[in-house]
Amino acid sequence: MILESSLNMAKKLRITAVAEGVETQADWNLLRQLGCDLAQGYFMARPMEADAFLNWVRDWKQREVI
């Protein structure tokens, strides 16, 4: 209920909502269902070295997760 209310408030205020700590597909699915704008967490990617980032971005864009 708190998550849904926070996302609704962000939309009414025209603020981009970013969910942190997304660790599972279920977390991601719920956020998408509730209309969350952006997310970050281990489900998207583990911390990585800067030189690995470009390869990660290329791979991520090819996924159908979003």
pTM above 0.95, yes or no: no
Section 31-36 average pLDDT: 95
Provide the pLDDT for residue 59. 84
Provide the pLDDT for residue 51. 85
Section 29-52 average pLDDT: 92
Contact in structure between 21 and 41 (CB atoms under 8 Å): yes
**Does pLDDT of 65 surpass 80?**
no
3-state helix, strand, coil in the chain (%, to 5): 50, 10, 40
Contact in structure between 1 and 21 (CB atoms under 8 Å): no
